[in-house]
Amino acid sequence: MIDCHLHLQDERLGDPAAIMGATRRNGISCLVVNGTHPDDWGKVSRLAREFTEVIPSFGLHPWRVPDAPEDWAEILGERLRDFPLAGLGEAGLDRWIKGHDLERQKEVFAIQLELAASLGRPLTVHCLQAWGTLLECLRGADLSAGCLLHSYSGPAEMVRDFVDIGIYFSLSGYFFREGKEDKLQVFDLVPQDRILLETDAPEMMPPAQFIRCPLPDHAGALTNHPVNLVSIYDAFAKRRGITTEETVTRLRENFVSWCFRGTRAGYLSLFPSITG
């Protein structure tokens, strides 16, 4: 199984070695760990060097745009060049956050789109309440290295627009919670060769019955453990009417198709367990 989006560097998850031990015991062979700001890119780098299952991704999240240093783009470029198989993300647009500056977010996102294209890196995109603007930005970009809308929460009527420009979509366990049926129905519209699964750990807590490895945070409340990915795979397989084993195979193929097209030979040599 592959977790295409999470934040293993987040302190709420505790000891990364313990987390990785649990993922290995539960059949999770690859985790794409997304950075959000220069402050955590170093942690992501260390995780990638320590654990062979970790694929790093470095990006400036729209929530962190206001406090980014002036030279953030230069630092980002250096990180990506240090890791030839790294992706770019988590980047994007967000009109949900209080006090957002969408124009500044667009400027920052445009820089990251250009960097991903120039280096041939797969892109992971965050978006909330800015779907029309996002589509405009992506339509004008070079997405030949692959682009994923993580935890897609946009309208059903825009799925085809994004599919037509080559976009992939990832589904998190959060959308299996009670009251989120409309979000699951949107994913029913996504072609089977364009879908991936994620935890977004420690965010996007799935329903209680999905919890396989209870993980309390500093305040004692449960937080999302990456091992909950197993439940997400099972639930997705049930919804699609196929076995979990078939789901693993299909999504592995989707992952390889999305991720690291520009460095495919090196990618296959590093992650033979994913490609079979």
User: Is the Cβ–Cβ distance between 92 and 123 less than 8 Å?
Assistant: no
Those residues whose C-beta lies under 8 Å from the C-beta of residue 31, and which sit 6 or more positions away, are 2, 3, 6, 8, 23, 53, 54, 55, 226
| Residue 269 pLDDT level (bands cut at 50, 70, 90) | low
| Residue 276 pLDDT level (bands cut at 50, 70, 90) | very low
Average pLDDT, the chain: 94
| Residue 125 pLDDT level (bands cut at 50, 70, 90) | very high
> What gap in Å lies between CA 225 and CA 238, rounded to an integer?
21
Those residues whose C-beta lies under 8 Å from the C-beta of residue 11, and which sit 6 or more positions away, are none
Mind listing the pLDDT tens digit for each residue in 169-217? Answer: 999 999 999 999 999 999 999 999 999 999 999 999 999 999 999 999 8
Domain 2-275: CATH superfamily is Metal-dependent hydrolases (3.20.20.140)
| pLDDT reported for residue 219 | 82
Q: How much of the chain, in percent, has pLDDT values that exceed 70?
A: 94
> What gap in Å lies between CA 41 and CA 75, rounded to an integer?
9
For residue 97, report the phi and psi dihedrals to the nearest 5 degrees.
-70, 145
Please tell me the pTM assigned to this model: 0.95
| pLDDT reported for residue 260 | 61
Mind listing the pLDDT tens digit for each residue in 3-51? Answer: 999 999 999 999 999 999 999 999 999 999 999 999 999 999 999 999 9
